[in-house]
Amino acid sequence: MINVRIFVTYKESVFDPQGETITEAIHSLGHSDVKQVHVGKFFDVQVDSSKENVEKTISEISEQLLVNFNLETYHYEIMEEA
Amino acid sequence: MIATEMSPQEIKSKKPYLEWGLSEKEYNYICEKLLKRLPNYTETGLFAVMWSEHCSYKKSKPVLREFPSKNERVLQGPGEGAGIVDIGDGQAVVFKAESHNHPSAVEPYEGAATGVGGIIRDIFSMGARPIAALDSLHFGEINQARTKYLINEVVAGIGGYGNCMGIPTVGGEMTFDECYTGNPLVNAMCVGLMEQKDMQVGRAKGIGNAVMYVGAKTGRDGIHGATFASADFSDEKETQRSAVQVGDPFMEKLLMEACLELTNKHADWLVGIQDMGAAGLASSSCEMASKAESGLELTLDNVPQREPKMSAYEIMLSESQERMLLCIRAGFEEDVEKLFENYGLEAVVIGRVVEGHQYLLKHKDRVVADIPVSSLTDDVLEEESQEKVPLRILQTRENQNWIPQINDVGETLRKMLQQPTIASKKMFTQTYDSQVRTNTVVGPGSDAAVLRIRGTKKALAMTTDGNGRFVYLDPKIGGKMAVLEAAANLIASGALPLALTDCLNYGDPNDPEIYWELHQSVLGMAAACRALNTPVISGNVSLYNENNGEAIYPTPMVGMVGLVKELKYAVPSFVQQQGDLVFIVGNTEEDFAGSELQKMITGEIKGNLNDVDVAQMSSRMMKLLSAMKKGLVKSAHDLSEGGLAIALAETTFGTKCGLDIKTHLNGEELFSETPGRFVVTVAPESQKLFLDEIQDEEVTYVGTVTNNKKLTVAYENGQFDLDLKKAEGLWEEAIPCLMKSKD
Amino acid sequence: MKIAVVVFPGSNCDVDLYEALHTVCRADVEYVSHKQKSLAGFDAVMLPGGFSYGDYLRSGAIARFSNIMPAIIEFANEGKLVFGTCNGFQILTEAGLLPGALKQNNSLKFICKTVELEVVNNQTPFTSLYEANEHIKLPIAHADGSYYAEKDVLEKLEENGQIVFRYAGENPNGSLNNIAGITNEKGNVLGMMPHPERAVEALLGNEDGLRLFRSLLANGKKTEEAAR
């Protein structure tokens, strides 16, 4: 079993109102050193497959389902081999 | 996870039941009188939840008996998922309100969302399609970050659940007072529509019939939610505040559609159906058995579980959301499974109706509970409560009432329009889908919401009202006023009030002063119910609304539904046309105690209320309604917070009209809150017929509708002009402005 | 002309579309379950608003994988009329039948209110009964209605006249170019965030959506007659 974490975020050019709002809230807490926040999501996926095949699976599920390429982009980390 | 459960002996000596809300007296009574043995761990847990106030009403029952609950139209009164009222043509309206105050104080989004989810299940469990949701929300003043957070999250939770379900949130109320800061009130109401032939009850009868579980899987969420709802808050107990469940409105939408298909198309398969609400599987199953005087045997291993290694205790007491319990005629189990499978849902047989009256639970080949059903539902020790008139009321009785003095009436009106309780709530209500299913004729922001009934000329009007300030000053009079105010909202819309549901929100009933408030206000409400012929058909009681020992205002919320026989006679609350005549129905007295004006000027709520004549008010309302049914009234608006001045301004908002008013009242009286009054507009040609119909000495002509956006009022000792466009701006911007301000 | 209203798990404006067509327009309309695989016999298909699959992952993202979807795609490719409102629009973009995507509203909140729209293109089968550049009012009710597409896509939409509705007053959600509704290049697939089906009866205070359904029915009829 391989644990993979897939991160999905807005592409850089896409306006992120949640990130914007959170940045404002952080500033109101007094942390003016925080310049920008981008919100994204991650998926923890357990794959029962070999290391060679896992990358193919991950890119397929990301591209077919988890990511909307009109808005979003993704990367992933292979966390550990269980 | 409970690896090793305490033995019956250990329970007796270590007394964990005290934590669960069961008193020593109750425990001993169970051991000595009911079981004549020591209950085991699961059994003790069952008693604790079933005997909690939330499930048993042991404290409030003697008081609740004061309410009338029947009349010629009531098809189902209190005791089932929701009450049902006949509306003619073989149709019925179903409704109920429920509080979710404690969960919302802890986790406001999920607390409010699951409150909405629960009340929706109550409605469709009766075989009715939910057609509308309403709410009644009371928060602290909008002056601290925590309150703003609570408001935003509660509103988002209500919208999040209702919008996804596709049930329009059509109305409600929202008020702000210091006393709700640590303990906001979140009351949700749902209204459903059904064919009378589809009526269902929560009953498990017929030996051999199956008990089936449908919907979401059971997890460890919300264990002891019912007892949690029956204990007050204090900051030290922060760690115990973990009993909040998470809602899944998508699951509930599927569950609702599946259950409606079952109740409406396959009634022959079904014996009974009930929501798994507070105290989950425990309360739903034993209530279903108790109502049918049946015995029940359940195998808990068959209950669909979301988490591993759950104990019997946890399975029975879990308050996981979006679950229903069915009693299915033997032989139709597979049909039911298939029906639910078609919606992607699991339906599982978890037990059978058995001979006798025992409640027998098995888990992992062990009997984990074997007790009489009635011991859980009927043998609860009703608690006698002490009552005492609160000192503040005794003291106030001696004092003169506060009489305001206003220098600049126009400026006072502008300020009043910006008081949060009066100001526009649009910034919140527009986050609710109020139109889905396209039946909403009048949505949020009016006296009452109005929904047409497709395929008929009829419509239903509905409202929620609760004014804790008046009840705080005089529970009995305040109780009458709460019911009258709801009725007035329906009347103003052209609807005949049918019946009501309530949420009784009070502090700790063990405090004799608070119990007195509860008792007196119920007496007042009951008197008004009888005068209006609007029985109480459902509702709930929420006690222990306290934060660090400070109780909220006693706040009975009234949710009322009315019938508009012909939609063409529904009356808008906004003025319609230049030249129409303006009348005030109902005399104005010096009623400033508990008024918005008093709160704004003095910062407190104080004084004695004048009693209200419920019979006279009821007869006035019926006369107004009969004028409406003859098409003689162009618009009507009920006078409430802020009195006549506010009502006049409100009736023009959103229109192109203004008003030219001349009244014998003085400047202060323009803000008096004498109950049971209306501002109505009448076409000049209808004037005579209208006055003949009303035949009330308490109808005063005060002016005309104009086509300039100006409110001109000449009163006894002066006059003012209000630019209505600017006034509407102030009224709309007040709350967004407070919510944005940084503190 | 026979119209399909597709019902996904979590659709909740399906009844509204059905009633607008059936009760108000007296059209021949039928519900079609997401489980079905064929749209044989239908001349137009409508995707209703709601929260298909709870809007989990992204609005419309999971509905795209339902059984009926290949049939809808084939139907669109044959040039037949496909209409999606609100969640229906989101599904059409997720399925690639319309370009771009719908993001969370800039306010981060669900908004239900009536907005002013400009009918930018009245040369579509869905809008032929509106005047060119006419201003109408329709309700919106969504949390994810902010239209987004990359610059080149937006330019192409503008050039081809694929923008059918634009927010004319305030922009309620942050949509780029004030876009409220677009068609595909061929013009036979329309997606829009506002709800015309909620504005078909004077009783409910607004009839501005009625002509959209009447346009579609009139054009469908013409096509049928031409085929004969």
CA atoms of B743 and B731, how far apart (whole Å): 22
C94, C118, C142, C197: the active-site residue: C197
For B331, other C-beta atoms within 10 Å of its C-beta total: 11
- What backbone phi and psi angles, to 5 degrees, belong to B424? -60, 140
Share of chain C above pLDDT 90, in %: 96
Strand bridging mode C28-33 / C2-7: parallel
How far apart, in whole angstroms, are the C-alpha atoms of residue B641 and residue B674?
A: 10
What's the pTM value of the predicted model, to 2 decimals? Answer: 0.95
Determine how β-strand B459-465 pairs with β-strand B555-564: antiparallel
pLDDT confidence of residue C194: 98
Q: How far apart are alpha carbons B203 and B519 in whole angstroms?
A: 31
Angle (deg, nearest 10), helices B512-532 and B475-492: 40
Contact (CB, 8 A) for B84 and B94: yes
**Mean pLDDT for the stretch of residues B282-304:** 96
Q: Looking at CA atoms only, how far is residue C186 from chain B in angstroms?
A: 31
**Which chain C residues are closer than 8 Å to A60 by Cβ?**
none
Rounded to a whole number of angstroms, the distance from the CA of C219 to the nearest CA of chain A is 32
What number is the ipTM of this complex? 0.97
Model confidence at B463: pLDDT above 60: yes
The tens digit of pLDDT for each residue in B498-548 reads: 999 999 999 999 999 999 999 999 999 999 999 999 999 999 999 999 988
Say yes or no to pLDDT of B220 above 90.
no
Of C188, C200, C175, nearest to C92 by C-alpha is C188
Rounded to whole angstroms, the Cα distance separating B259 from B276 reads: 13
Chain C residue numbers touching A66 (CB-CB < 8 A): 57
Which positions in chain A touch C106 (Cβ < 8 Å)? 15, 17
pLDDT category, B549, cuts 50, 70, 90? confident
**Does B437 sit within 8 Å of C15, measured CB to CB?**
yes
Q: Which of B563, B515, B516 is nearest to B543 (CA)?
A: B515
Numbered residues of the known binding site of B for Mg(2+): 98, 122, 275, 540
pLDDT of C228 above 80 = no
Out of C58, C100, C174, name the one closest to residue A17 (CB): C174
Judging contacts by C-beta atoms under 8 Å, the chain A residues touching residue C111 are none
Top residue of B251, B436, B437, B453 to mutate, by most chain C CBs within 10 Å, is: B436
Residues B364-392 pLDDT 10s? 999 999 999 999 999 999 888 999 999 99
Calpha distance B642→B671 (Å, rounded): 5
Closest partner residue to A70 among C57, C65, C101, by Cβ? C101
Q: Looking at residues B590-612, what average pLDDT do you find?
A: 96
* Predicted confidence band of residue B222 (pLDDT cuts 50, 70, 90): confident
pLDDT score for B237: 43
Chain C nearest-CA distance from A63, in A, is 12
Determine the Cα–Cα distance for residues C25 and B512; give it in Å rounded to an integer. 63
Q: Round the average pLDDT of chain B to a whole number and report it.
A: 94
For chain B, how many residues are written?
743
Range B243-271 average pLDDT: 93
Domain B57-194+445-565 superfamily per CATH? PurM-like, N-terminal domain (3.30.1330.10)
Residue B230 confidence class, pLDDT cut points 50, 70, 90: low
pLDDT value at position B2? 45
**By three-state DSSP, how is residue C221 classified?**
helix
Distance CA B347, CA B340 (A): 6
What pLDDT does residue B338 have?
Answer: 98
Interface residues of chain A, partner chain C, Cβ below 8 Å: 13-15, 17-18, 21, 65-66, 68, 70-71
Contact at CB, C65 and A65, closer than 8 angstroms: yes
- For residue A64, report the phi and psi dihedrals to the nearest 5 degrees: -85, -30
Average pLDDT, chain A: 90
B384-423+571-743 and B57-194+445-565 share a CATH fold: no
Q: Which residues in chain B have their CB less than 8 angstroms from residue C141's CB?
A: 163, 433, 435-436
B1 Cβ partners below 8 Å, 6+ apart?
B220, B309, B310, B311, B314
Fold category of B384-423+571-743 in CATH: Phosphoribosyl-aminoimidazole Synthetase; Chain A, domain 2 (3.90.650)
Residue in A21, A65, A71 closest to C148 by CB: A71
Which contacts qualify for B724-730: CB closer than 8 Å, 24 or more apart? B724/B649, B724/B652, B724/B653, B724/B658, B727/B413, B727/B414, B727/B417, B727/B649, B728/B649, B728/B652, B728/B653, B728/B654, B730/B414, B730/B417, B730/B418
For residue C34, what are its two tokens?
């997401």
Chains B, C: CB contacts within 8 A come to 80
Q: How far is CA B194 from the centre of its chain?
A: 20
pLDDT higher than 50, residue C200: yes
Radius of gyration of chain B measured on its C-alpha atoms: 26
Identify the CATH number of the domain in which residue C39 sits. Answer: 3.40.50.880
Question: Domain residue spans in chain B?
Answer: 18-51+200-380, 57-194+445-565, 384-423+571-743
pLDDT for residue B660: 98
The chain B residue lying nearest C199, using CA atoms, is B438
Mode of pairing for the β-strands spanning B496-505 and B536-542 = parallel
Mean pLDDT of the region B79-108: 95
Q: What is the pLDDT of residue C181?
A: 98
Find the mean pLDDT for residues C177-182.
98
At B172, the amino acid letter reads G
Residue at token pair 């205002």: B553
Catalytic-role residue among C13, C34, C86, C142: C86
- Chains touching chain B through at least 3 C-beta pairs below 8 angstroms are C
- In this model, does residue B189 exceed pLDDT 90? yes
Residues of B involved in catalysis: 54, 100
Binding site for substrate: what residues of B are annotated?
A: 99-102, 121, 245, 319-321, 542
pLDDT of C223 over the 80 cut: no
Q: Which of A37, A38, A43, A70 to mutate to test the interface with C (most CBs of C within 10 A)?
A: A70
- Return the SS3 of B218: strand
pLDDT for residue A52? 84
Give the span between the Cα atoms of B611 and B562, in whole angstroms: 25
Structurally, chain C folds into a number of domains equal to: 1
Q: Which residues pair with residue B96 across a beta bridge? A: B190
* Structural contact between residues B345 and B214, judged by C-beta atoms closer than 8 angstroms: yes
Q: What is the mean pLDDT of residues B443-463?
A: 97
The confidence score (pLDDT) of residue B227 equals 57
User: Which candidate, C211, C192, C189, C201, places its Cα nearest to that of C74?
Assistant: C189
Report, as an integer, the average pLDDT of B173-184: 96
Is a pLDDT exceeding 50 seen at residue B117?
yes
Over residues C62-108, the pLDDT tens digits come to: 999 999 999 999 999 999 999 999 999 999 999 999 999 999 999 99
Q: Is C197 a catalytic site residue?
A: yes
Q: What pLDDT shows up at residue B383?
A: 80
CA distances from B132 to B414, B560, B646, C31 (A): 34, 13, 28, 23
Contacts of A18 in chain C (CB under 8 A): 104, 108
The answer to whether the CB atoms of C110 and B163 lie below 8 A apart is yes
| Range C159-188 average pLDDT | 97
CA distances from B678 to B227, B467, B493, C150 (A): 43, 18, 11, 56
The minimal CB distance from B164 to the residues C19, C54, C197 is found for C54
Please state, for a pLDDT cut of 70, what percent of chain B lies above it.
96
DSSP A63: I
Per-residue model confidence (pLDDT) at position B239: 41
List CB contacts (< 8 A) between A17 and chain C.
Answer: 104-108, 174
Please list the helix, strand and coil fractions of chain B in percent, rounded to the nearest 5, in that order.
40, 25, 35
For residue C106, the enclosing domain spans: 2-227
**CB spacing of B441 vs C109 below 8 angstroms:** no
Q: Which helix (H) or strand (E) holds B72?
A: none
Neighbouring chains to A with at least 3 Cβ pairs closer than 8 Å = C
Which chain C residues have a beta carbon less than 8 Å from that of B440? Answer: 204
Nearest CB among C65, C104, C149 relative to A70 is that of C149
Q: What percent of chain B has pLDDT over 90?
A: 89
- Which domain range does residue A50 map to? 2-81
C-side interface with B, Cβ within 8 Å? Answer: 9-10, 12-13, 15-16, 19-20, 23, 49-51, 53-56, 109-113, 139, 141, 143, 195, 197-198, 200-201, 203-205
Does the structure show a pLDDT above 50 at B161?
Answer: yes
Q: Burial of B560 by CB count in 10 Å (0-12 exposed, 13-18 middle, 19+ buried)?
A: buried
User: What does the pLDDT read at residue B242?
Assistant: 45
Average pLDDT on B468-487 reads 98
Pick the CATH number of B18-51+200-380 from 3.40.1180.10, 3.40.1390.20, 3.90.650.10, 1.10.260.40: 3.90.650.10
Total tally of structural domains belonging to chain A: 1
CATH number at residue A42: 3.30.1280.10
CB B402 within 8 A of CB B607: yes
What is the 8-class DSSP label of residue B236? G
* DSSP characters over B515-578: HHHHHHHHHHHHHHHHHHT--EEEEEEE---EETTEEPPPEEEEEEEEEESSGGG---SS---T
